[in-house]
Amino acid sequence: MTSYKELGLVNTREMFKKAVAGGYAIPAFNFNTLEQMQAIVQAAVETKSPVIMQVSKGARNYANGTILRYMAQGAVEYAKELGCPEPQIVLHLDHGDSFELCKDCIDNGFSSVMFDGSALPYEENIRITKQVVEYAHAHDVTVEAELGVLAGVEDEVASEVSHYTKPEEVIDFSTRSGCDSLAISIGTSHGAYKFTPEQCTRDPKTGKLVPPPLAFDILHQIEEKLPGFPIVLHGSSSVPQDEVDTINAYGGKLPDAVGIPEEQLREASKSAVCKINIDSDSRLAMTAAIRKYLADNPGHFDPRQYLKPARENMKKMYIHKIVDVLGSNDKL
């Protein structure tokens, strides 16, 4: 058993309380490479921001859970070395799909876990979330749950059969499960193709796709039901068009990739939404920089040469999110 406290990590409890009260959101960046980790820590230290470093089941399979745990410990030490005496870094399991996986992470240094039972029947979601909460709280680890299903790219966002979180369920769900935060579905989704072109309109000036707005009415109803309760938004990459254009200009093929407009995330950050998940934008920043570098320098083959601009581009993106979108800067 390795407690996250031995690694210098923190859970989300105080962090979320301050974020809800302060009208900002904590960035939750997915990571599975050294360069992502370095860029996240540099960005968090330079902006004096708390940060959640999160790991999916797929990331654990890719990078190895033990290595990722030591990377998180390394992140804390690296932040101190960069001049931040008391970094606020959470190591979080993203989309845990079983009690056993959540337990394994808690036993191995995670300070926060998500049990994602959103695809399960309601009572089953409560039952397993509660089981995770009981184990997690015994170790002072915080738990994120999910209610409502994030739209897939095939789903009709305007469909009458909505997968949005039902506000009438949130009090019962959070009370009975005992979760510390709740991920909700209000129109965000995972990946770089969040909406089909048919679901969007086109900006007549730029020809770019404009997605339909998030369901802020549902968010506000949830806030009324659960005043001050920490709310989480998944699928919140904005899919920057300049990165998509760079990728496409240098041999990539990402037609009609579209994300969540940043002004909507800015608005959400001011509400009870206190954790915003971003993964795809990091992937895009990294890939755009690598594609451009290799096209411009066809004779280079040392990974450090192309991973350095990739790391710089991710860091720029992380800083932009922290300062210009979520508002979590200057909070340490």
Enzyme catalytic residues? 94
Backbone phi, psi, residue 3, to 5°: -80, 140
- When asked if residue 56 is in the footprint of ligand G3H (CB under 6 A), the reply is yes
Interactions with ligand G3H, residue window 12-31 (CB under 6 A): 30
69 binds, among ligand G3H, Zn ion, ligand 13P, none (CB under 5 to 8 A by kind): none
Contact 328, 49 (CB under 8 A): yes
HSE, CB side, 13 Å, CA atoms: give it for residue 326: 35
**Distance, first Cα to last Cα, the chain:** 29
Task: Using the rule CB under 6 A, give the single segment among 53-61, 70-78, 178-186, 309-317 that binds ligand G3H.
Answer: 53-61
Between CA 307 and CA 317, with CA 312 as vertex, the angle to 5 degrees is 125
180 binds, among Zn ion, ligand G3H, ligand 13P, none (CB under 5 to 8 A by kind): none
Compare residues 60 and 190 and give the one whose CB is closer to ligand 13P: 190
Residues in contact with ligand 13P by the rule CB under 6 A: 30, 94-95, 190-191, 234-237, 277-281
Interactions with ligand G3H, residue window 252-311 (CB under 6 A): 279
Backbone phi, psi, residue 160, to 5°: -70, -30
Give the chain's length: 332
Q: How far is the CB of 45 from ligand G3H (least distance, A)?
A: 24
Q: How far is the CB of 153 from ligand G3H (least distance, A)?
A: 14
Q: How far is the CB of 74 from ligand 13P (least distance, A)?
A: 22
Please, is 144 exposed, middle or buried when counting C-beta atoms within 10 Å of its C-beta (0-12, 13-18, 19+)?
A: buried
Instruction: Give the 3-state secondary structure of residue 58.
Output: helix
Q: Residue numbers of the site for Zn ion (CB under 5 A)?
A: 234
